[in-house]
Structure 1
Amino acid sequence: MTKQDPIPARLAALKTTSTPDLKQQWRDLFDSEPPPFNRRYLESRLAYRIQELAYGGLKPETVKRLEALGEQLDGGDRKKSRIRADLTPIVGTRLIREWQGVEHLVTVTADGFEWQGRPYKSLSAIARAITGTRWNGWVFFGLKNHRRGA
């Protein structure tokens, strides 16, 4: 009789684990406080970490290759490299906002955003085009609470 690998069972159990227990697992596995992200994020990062600890992490060559690709993407621009990918909507996400009885649909693209068939670099530019006044685009589209800052 062969010993069964417990990792798949641990990964499956994440789906039914309570959020407080997921946060405790985060503390145990990462030795830090869990980030204030949604449950899906916690589950996916915990699943990765469990597998990383059991089977090993990325090979050094892979890490170097990923760093080189990242360098190509942001061109060494330190400001771009500090933008947290987990705070930006995923490409293809559709943001819907009603303004004065009109529904506006914005699609997240690889280069920014698209509204009414036109590309925009920022949500604030779209919010300004819709309202005629200056807005924080993240607040306008409900992605950020302007009082709490997140």
Structure 2
Amino acid sequence: MTTHDPIPARLAALKTTPTPDLKKQWRELFDSEPPPFNRRYLESRLAYRIQELAYGGLKPETVRRLERLGEELDGGDKKKRGMRLDRDRPITGTRLLREWQGVGYVVTVTADGFEWQGRPYKSLSAIARGITGTRWNGWVFFGLKNHRGRS
């Protein structure tokens, strides 16, 4: 007997859920008021929390190790932790997901660019061109900027 996992459907539904309903889910899942950040932030944090509650979060020893590594990098200065050199660039390790003509594509952000299908790329535009066969602004194609170029 196979069981259906409802979590992927819940995650997919976040994209089309009205913002007031996302904020309601936030209150239910985090037991706090949602932060005044953009919709994409709410979606990503809710997606993580849904998975964390369903499948389990990080092990305590992993959390301790990450905290130690963070302290090594910033000397315990929590203000430095929030800083990123390139504000527009996603954090290394981020997976960008895009569906194009019914096919799902995954691109991973690396320290010096991006990786798609096991190959390194310097730009998202090159990957978007490889997927579509036409010229695209890679940041727009992957939903990182709107059509007017703002993040």
Which structure has the larger Rg over C-alpha atoms? Answer: 1
Separation of aligned partners in 1, 2:35 and 2:10? 21
How far is 1:89 from its partner?
Answer: 2.4
For the pair 1:40 / 2:40, whether they are aligned, the reply is yes
Separation of aligned partners in 2, 1:19 and 1:10? 15
Residue 39 of structure 2 aligns with an amino acid whose one-letter code is R
How far is 1:63 from its partner?
Answer: 0.5
How far is 1:61 from its partner?
Answer: 1.6
CA shift in 2, pair 1:64/1:26, >3 Å: same
Separation of aligned partners in 2, 1:31 and 1:64? 24
How far is 1:85 from its partner?
Answer: 5.0
* Percent of aligned pairs sharing the same letter: 80
Which structure 1 residue ranges, 5 or more long, are not aligned?
Answer: 93-150
Separation of aligned partners in 1, 2:73 and 2:40? 26
CA RMSD in angstroms, aligned pairs only? 2.5
Counterpart of 2:55 in structure 1 is 55
Q: What secondary structure does 1:58 align onto?
A: coil
Counterpart of 1:29 in structure 2 is 29
How far is 1:60 from its partner?
Answer: 1.2
For the pair 1:13 / 2:32, whether they are aligned, the reply is no
How far is 1:79 from its partner?
Answer: 4.5
In the comparison of the two structures, how many residue pairs are matched? Answer: 91
How far is 1:75 from its partner?
Answer: 1.1
Residue 25 of structure 2 aligns with an amino acid whose one-letter code is Q
Counterpart of 2:128 in structure 1 is none
Counterpart of 2:87 in structure 1 is 89
Please report the TM-score for the alignment, with normalisation by the length of structure 1.
Answer: 0.54
Separation of aligned partners in 2, 1:39 and 1:58? 25
